[in-house]
Amino acid sequence: MKRLKAVAWKLTVEVYSDPASELAEKQALLARRIYEKIRERQPYELKLLFCKKCKSYSPPMLSKRIRIRNGMILYTCGRCGATYRIPFK
Ligand SMILES: [Zn+2]
């Protein structure tokens, strides 16, 4: 289980190196699936990659609009248009 978690984390980190690629989307989805399987809490960095509403892959650097207000990060999903806040870690 520990090893799977390490793999999932590595995938997450790799997504950040090139979030625009098709591979990155697959890696993100795979990482999420691993965390679900081993029932571990997903890291903040992985959650950021997905829209809270439509659950689609929308990395902050690509499809999301980001605003910072009152110490909160405000996201707008580029796919469904949902706006939601994520507090700073
Ligand atoms: Zn969305």
Please give the structure tokens belonging to residue 27: 């890696």
Q: How many domains does the chain have?
A: 1
Phi, psi of 20 (to 5 degrees): -80, -15
Q: Tell how far the Cα of 65 is from the centroid of ligand 1, in angstroms.
A: 11
Q: Tell how far the Cα of 27 is from the centroid of ligand 1, in angstroms.
A: 19
Position 15 scores a pLDDT of 94
Q: Tell how far the Cα of 8 is from the centroid of ligand 1, in angstroms.
A: 23
Q: Tell how far the Cα of 3 is from the centroid of ligand 1, in angstroms.
A: 31
Q: How far apart are CA 65 and CA 63, in angstroms?
A: 7
3-class DSSP assignment, residue 44: helix
The residue range of the domain holding 49 is 2-87
For ion ligand 1, residues whose CB falls within 5 Å: 51, 53-54, 77, 79-80, 82
3-class DSSP assignment, residue 62: coil
Q: What is the pLDDT of residues 32-56, one digit of tens each?
A: 999 999 999 999 889 889 988 899 9
Distances (CA, A) of 4 to 15, 16, 28, 31: 17, 19, 14, 9
Q: What is the pLDDT of residues 54-81, one digit of tens each?
A: 999 988 777 667 777 777 888 888 888 8
